[in-house]
Amino acid sequence: MAALTPISRKPASLVVPSVAAAGAIAGIFIGAAQGSAFLGFVLGGVLLAVIAFVAMQDMLPEKLFRWIILAGFAIAGLLLGGLPALIIGGIFGWFFGWFTYWIYEGRYRSKLAPYLTPGQVLWHFTFRVICGAIFTFLITPIIVVMPLSFNAQDFFTFTPEMLRFDPAGYSLKHYRDFLTNAEWTGAVWNSLRIAPVATVISVSLGTLAAIGLSQAHVPGKRAIMAILISPMIVPLIISATGMYFFYSKIGIVGTYWGVVLAHSALGIPFVIITVTATLVGFDNSLTRAAANMGADPVTTFFKVQMPLILPGVISGALFAFITSFDEVVVVLFIGSAELQTLPWQMFTGLREQISPTILAAATILVGISIVLLTVVEMLRRRSERLRGMSPS
């Protein structure tokens, strides 16, 4: 397929300030790493303004000029911070070379409707930049933890060997400790004993509640729904305190079933929301047809309703499982020394012994969460296809 041709070359009054602004933002982070964010802001803006102005003179072919920018940024990174900075500098150089010509050649409008005004185009990309900044802000702490979990030293910071990409600076010893230490394996076992049972209870009660609330004749549906989903709205510390005082009256604080019931209460709202969303497009005439054919309510549920709402049920189950497996506040109130879950053990490790094994545990939890959320997204798309909301 032929490449898209440039729409039109843009004036310097648009290109230079746009590229300079991007350079100034990047300069803040680079300058902060070198000790002066303001100096980085100024130098980044000035440098990229000069690059944009030179690019607009068309003295060199685009590909050659972009390679020069990439090489220049990579060399600057090498001088400032060694091999890791060289790689980061090369990435910055590639991006700014592409971004400069993306603005200058007007390629940013190639996939937009031609009737959009400049203000609408500006908001279109500003919105995406804001979303990208929020995503970066949320995901960066998680990304930082992962390489630190392979640190050969018992530190929570990058060692000089790691920054040089020296193999001696990396090790799997924290993962070995996680898999062999009795404290960590016991905590994992407790989490695996609690989370599945809590998930089953949450799914059973949450699915029944969602089906009941989907009926038109139920009075006070909104009030009931608000009460049922309140555990995910009320601050967790308040819920944990209330559970502690209530469970202490009936004598289940510090017991296995006390923790299971507490986690079930936290998981039910997620099941109700996902199943209710699935029931929005459910055709109730199917259940009436099954009843006309002589099917009892239980058979109708398992043979007619359940196959159609199954994606929502499984999605709710995964959310309930993640909630139980990752929860720490409630288990601190309701649990006991014999029922320390994995998040509790991580919290204890941070507070008492600062064990780097926490980083390995956190990386494993992140991997599990990614797998589960990927399954949720696949089920969501399957549900949409079943309800005819998206093409197959």
Q: Is residue 317 assigned to a domain?
A: yes
Q: Residue 368: how many CA atoms within 13 Å on its side-chain side?
A: 15
Q: Give the model confidence (pLDDT) of 64-78 as tens digits.
A: 999 999 999 999 888
Q: Are residues 278 and 365 located together in one domain of the fold?
A: yes
Q: Are residues 247 and 103 located together in one domain of the fold?
A: no
Backbone angles phi, psi at 170, to 5 degrees: -120, 145
Cα(62)–Cα(68) distance, integer angstroms = 10
- pLDDT the model gives residue 194: 93
Q: Are residues 242 and 334 located together in one domain of the fold?
A: yes
In single-letter form, the type of residue at position 214 comes to: S
Least confident of 282-296, 305-319, 362-376: 282-296
List Cα–Cα distances, 343 to 173, 201, 312, 331, 356, in angstroms. 20, 21, 27, 9, 14
Which of 51, 77, 111 lies at the terminal end of a domain, its last residue? 111
Q: Are residues 291 and 208 located together in one domain of the fold?
A: yes
- pLDDT the model gives residue 99: 93
Question: What would the two tokens of residue 14 be?
Answer: 């648009």
Q: Is residue 118 assigned to a domain?
A: no
Residues with Cβ within 8 Å of residue 4, at least 6 apart in sequence: 107, 110
Q: Is residue 32 assigned to a domain?
A: yes
Cα(149)–Cα(174) distance, integer angstroms = 7
- pLDDT the model gives residue 358: 87
Across residues 264-291, what is the average pLDDT? 83
What's the pLDDT band for 265 if we cut at 50, 70, 90? very high
- In terms of average pLDDT, the best of 195-199, 232-236, 349-353, 355-359 is 195-199
Cα(34)–Cα(43) distance, integer angstroms = 13
Across residues 114-121, what is the average pLDDT? 86
Using DSSP's 3-state secondary structure scheme, residue 216 falls into: coil
Which of 90, 111, 132 lies at the terminal end of a domain, its last residue? 111
Question: What would the two tokens of residue 71 be?
Answer: 């090489």
Q: Using CA atoms in the order 316, 320, 321, 322, what is the torsion angle rounded to 10 degrees?
A: 100
Cα(20)–Cα(159) distance, integer angstroms = 34
Using DSSP's 3-state secondary structure scheme, residue 209 falls into: helix
Q: Is residue 322 assigned to a domain?
A: yes
Does residue 268 register a pLDDT over 80? yes
Does residue 7 register a pLDDT over 70? no
Across residues 288-294, what is the average pLDDT? 78
Q: Give the model confidence (pLDDT) of 209-232 as tens digits.
A: 988 888 777 788 888 888 888 888
- The CATH number for 259's domain is 1.10.3720.10
pTM of the shown model: 0.70
List Cα–Cα distances, 309 to 201, 210, 234, 238, in angstroms. 18, 11, 28, 33
Q: Give the model confidence (pLDDT) of 46-59 as tens digits.
A: 999 999 999 998 88
Domain around 203: 182-385
Q: Is residue 285 assigned to a domain?
A: yes
Q: Are residues 200 and 342 located together in one domain of the fold?
A: yes
Q: Are 101 and 70 in contact (CB under 8 A)?
A: no
Q: Is residue 333 assigned to a domain?
A: yes
Q: Is residue 177 assigned to a domain?
A: no
Which of 111, 129, 148 lies at the terminal end of a domain, its last residue? 111
- pLDDT the model gives residue 389: 54
Cα(269)–Cα(213) distance, integer angstroms = 13
Question: What would the two tokens of residue 59 be?
Answer: 């003295």
In single-letter form, the type of residue at position 186 comes to: G
Q: Are residues 226 and 348 located together in one domain of the fold?
A: yes
Question: What would the two tokens of residue 375 be?
Answer: 């399954």
